[in-house]
């Protein structure tokens, strides 16, 4: 049996900041491309490892369009998923009033939990966001679908602490295949013939993902091997307003330097203050940054 493994979909109605394309159409075109691939590869199962929706308040249009796509392909393959924190209402385990629960209620998608779910030649388990990984209770090919921060080696940012290493999960859990979500970067890890697949996000949500190549993986339960497929994408400059994004980053970096100098300065001269507020006016600094500057200035006055 072949299984197609996806990453975080983050289906949404509104266009992410700096995207300049029709993002609503783009995301569902990508999803249709993936589903068509599943049919071509004769996959019997499609896996979605959480954060199917970008928010528990996803619009009716997003939910209905997703349902339509699932319905179109429902006779071709079975769709399995778990909950990510974005699928949950305020990260609560009460999931009855969520878009993903609505989709599951349609019968077009199965949400996995700690109970083994037999499908064809494999047994599937689920660990949604915040849930412990269930112990393997069955013989044969055992597959875990989970939404948790998993990394292969390097931390994603300085000081990152809430994560698990892919190799450790492969060594200690006993699953033949683990499909994880939450980490928006693509990677695959292998240990003694067992795989952990983390496909990352379906779409590039932020400009720092400009070089991200959305991909999916097909896993063969008999051959115990994988095939990676890159999803076609437009060049970053066609879907992102990179110039505006860079200008904002430059401005915020300059403000950060100002704020750091304010924090270290024991005396604030009038000339310096005049230059600071002139910079703020001339560069249309956001209200959030202005508030930070005001808070720093107030703390300096309190100290003196």
DSSP codes of every residue in 227-270: EEEEPP---HHHHB-HHHHHHHHHHHHHHHHHHHHHHH-S---H
The pLDDT, as a whole number, for residue 181 is: 97
The pLDDT, as a whole number, for residue 258 is: 62
| pLDDT < 50 positions in the chain | 268, 303-304
The pLDDT, as a whole number, for residue 185 is: 94
Biggest CA pair distance of the chain = 75
The pLDDT, as a whole number, for residue 167 is: 96
The pLDDT, as a whole number, for residue 48 is: 98
**Residues in contact with 271: Cβ distance below 8 Å, sequence separation at least 6, in sequence order:** none
Look up the pTM and report it: 0.81
How far, in Å, are 183, 231, 292 from residue 7 at the CA level?
9, 12, 36
CB 204 within 8 A of CB 185: no
The pLDDT, as a whole number, for residue 303 is: 47
């Amino acid at each position: 049996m072949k299984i197609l493994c996806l990453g975080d979909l983050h289906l949404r109605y509104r266009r992410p900041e700096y995207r300049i394309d029709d993002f609503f159409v783009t995301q569902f075109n990508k999803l249709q491309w993936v589903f068509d691939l599943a049919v071509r590869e004769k996959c019997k199962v499609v896996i979605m490892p959480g954060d199917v929706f970008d928010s528990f308040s996803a619009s009716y249009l997003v939910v209905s369009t997703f349902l339509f796509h699932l319905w179109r392909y429902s006779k071709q393959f079975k769709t399995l998923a778990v909950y990510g924190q974005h699928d949950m209402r305020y990260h609560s385990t009460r999931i009855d009033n969520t878009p993903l629960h609505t989709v599951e209620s349609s019968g077009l998608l199965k949400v996995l939990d700690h109970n083994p779910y037999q499908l064809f030649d494999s047994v599937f388990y689920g660990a949604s966001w915040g849930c412990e990984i269930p112990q393997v209770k069955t013989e044969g090919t055992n597959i875990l679908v989970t939404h948790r921060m998993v990394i292969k080696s390097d931390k994603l940012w300085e000081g990152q602490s809430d994560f698990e290493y892919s190799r450790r999960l492969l060594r200690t859990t006993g699953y033949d295949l683990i499909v994880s979500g939450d980490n928006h970067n693509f990677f695959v890890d292998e240990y003694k013939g067992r795989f952990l697949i983390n496909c990352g996000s379906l779409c590039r949500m932020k400009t720092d993902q400009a070089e991200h190549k959305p991909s999916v993986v097909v896993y063969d339960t008999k051959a115990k091997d994988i095939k990676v497929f890159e999803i076609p994408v437009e060049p970053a400059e066609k879907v992102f307003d990179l110039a505006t994004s860079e200008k904002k980053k430059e401005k915020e970096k300059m403000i950060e330097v100002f704020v750091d100098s304010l924090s270290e300065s024991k005396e604030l001269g009038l000339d310096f203050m005049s230059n600071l507020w002139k910079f703020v006016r001339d560069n249309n600094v956001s209200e959030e940054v202005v508030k930070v500057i005001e808070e720093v200035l107030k703390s300096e006055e309190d100290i003196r």
